[in-house]
Structure 1
């Protein structure tokens, strides 16, 4: 029998992919505590990703990034006001899904008697374990971060469940994207295949000329509309692909919010990219993806589920998690256009209803 909680606070502040990986915990909490008030503390710039989620009652916006950059008396008062507001809510349970010092400060000073978190050795910053007094069993042996997050609920009597994301978009965002896409795709009725070259840091980048060659092949072989998507910092990479292409393409409309991005990705047939936040949004939306991994390990934080395919060509230095490469980015350059095209063919054929029988683990991960 589960312990009873009327008010639950989740602390997962960032980043976009990490928040997406934490959604199954929210869905599981709602399933097991259907009447509880569930709140989520999150960085303000990611808050609209959680808007309209059917399992969430409250979003508590946090601005730790701003506070750390400009630590002033005013910042202190803002931070203390946040803590005071959380304490006044009188939550029964707080769950630190982050395992960082910044999340531990919110957890530890929340005034909540029951504070659930990872074992010290399983925290990304071990010192953060000071803030929790209920520990999950050791999760170091669990490869994928989604399964690790789900295991955090075991002390509550909530054991392994099929992960769900249940992401929704607001009507206003969907209407905006429909209006923007109509002239962009020029009357196309077939869902587009999107290519997204933007990444968080350079070691995750696949060469633009390969994206362009892949897009040309896809258009010729499948007669699929090609949509080049981009985020606030990487429009130039999308435009760079377009300049190198020989076949028709469309540049995606600007997405001024994460709700706009979600509404855009819902319109896709397939999403092709590196290890980037939009990949995990598409996974949460159940949009098929083909992605390229090199410095990060897909076994830990790759797309979750059978409709996704990861291409990785392991090198001696693979999975280094470095933001700058001391050599020549061999792990990313090892993935050729033909490798990606084979994976794209497989995904598009499966999406069209072909049988999944006969696929091996090597097929799924492109090893």
Structure 2
């Protein structure tokens, strides 16, 4: 039923886009005065994966006008990014947003990743000559793309950079970026102890099947506490509160930090010597802040979504089940293959170097 409904919606979008486009004048791509709109309306990691493409575009086209259409959360991710000229958010009414986008005379649109079905059709009726995306990543709306690249099951950063070939840009992947102001950094410099090592541990994730067992985090925390003069911070979102308190009850010397907005959370992470995390947004944020990072993966594949920084390390084990239930999994057995002792050994190395 859900697939039928999606198919029906897509047919309506196709008719509407075709009808409206008939009356629109297209803005042709002009490499000397390039005007680019990037669509990125999903989570923290997905948003950060777009940042290497921003810097690459500005490297090839220094005078380009680069805008991003995102969510209010994404706007916090892209705030202060020197490569982004303007940020549009989905908080506006659709008609108001369409008028704003149409007014900017965008010549090319890149569909990096969107959660909302209407975003791609909307971007097709603002006058851009080219709408670029990846096949099978558009909720069945591939027919709206003027340039569709194959999904070669590469890293998400590489997939986004691949789309830039529509402008004859051929780039190698680079690390993620996140830009804090000095004031945002300074507010947490007073919060941490300057002469101690500082480690943040993020034991949760949106999807339970990505979560390393709490018992392993508890053992790792004790190993770190016993071996180092160290401040340990346990971070998480409100829905991870029970996990945080479960771990803290077994390791009362950790400090729980939660309920920070995204930019304040980034300010905290910027003061860390090391961040240990499951495969989730804060791991990517730590990488973007150039903080040493350990990511714990299974069954997700770090070759597709892991950190790229030389200061990052990944623990990865292949899935143990012949059929992975992914989000329906209640007990991620594959993650039991990674022991706290081996993670601790890597922590020792990273903290010593």
Q: Same fold (TM over 0.5)?
A: yes
CA offsets 1:304-342 (integer angstroms, 9 cap, x no match): 12221111222333894711216x321122221112212
SS of the residue corresponding to residue 97 of structure 1 reads strand
Deviations, residues 93-121 of structure 1 (Å, cap 9, x unaligned):
21111276344123222221222222x3x
Secondary structure of the residue aligned to 2:230 is coil
Root-mean-square deviation over aligned CA pairs: 2.3
Matching residue of 2:328 = 324
In the TM superposition, residue 82 of structure 1 has moved relative to its aligned partner by 0.9
Q: Does 1:61 align with 2:89?
A: yes
Deviation at 1:273, TM superposition (A): 1.1
Q: How many residues align?
A: 323
CA-to-partner distance for each residue in 1:10-61, whole Å, 9 max, x for gaps? 1111121111111101110111111121110001122111111111111101
Whether the aligned pair in 2 keeps the contact of 1:228 and 1:252 (CA below 8 Å) is: yes
Equivalent of 1:218 in 210, 217, 224: 224
Structure 2 residues without counterparts, runs of 5 or longer: 1-29
Q: Distance in 2 between matches of 1:22 and 1:178?
A: 29
d(CA) in 2 for partners of 1:277 and 1:310?
A: 15
Stretches (4+) displaced over 4 A: none
Unaligned runs of 5+ in 1: 64-76, 353-367
Judged with a 3 Å threshold, the aligned counterparts in structure 2 of structure 1 residues 165 and 335 are, in CA distance, closer, same or farther, namely: closer
2:105 is the counterpart of 1:87:
no
Find the counterpart in structure 2 of residue 132 from structure 1: 145
* Preserved CA contact (<8 Å) 1:104 1:129: no
Question: 1:220–1:14: structure 2 CA closer, same or farther, 3 Å change rule?
Answer: same
TM-score, structure 2 length as denominator?
0.84
Among 255, 258, 264, the alignment partner of 1:260 is 264
SS of structure 1 residue aligned to 2:94: helix
1:201: how far off? 1.5
Give the TM-score normalised by structure 1: 0.81
1:225-304 matches, within 5 Å, as 225-245=231-251, 248-252=253-257, 254-255=259-260, 257-304=261-308
1:144 aligns with 2:155: yes
Superposed CA deviations along residues 129-165 of structure 1, whole A, max 9, x for unmatched, are 22221234x341x521111211111121111234143
Task: State how far apart, in whole Å, the 1-side matches of 2:259 and 2:167 are.
Answer: 43
Aligned position for 2:66: 38
Q: Specify which of 320, 342, 354 is matched with residue 345 of structure 2.
A: 342
Q: Structure 1 135/234 Cα, relative in aligned 2: closer, same or farther at 3 Å?
A: same
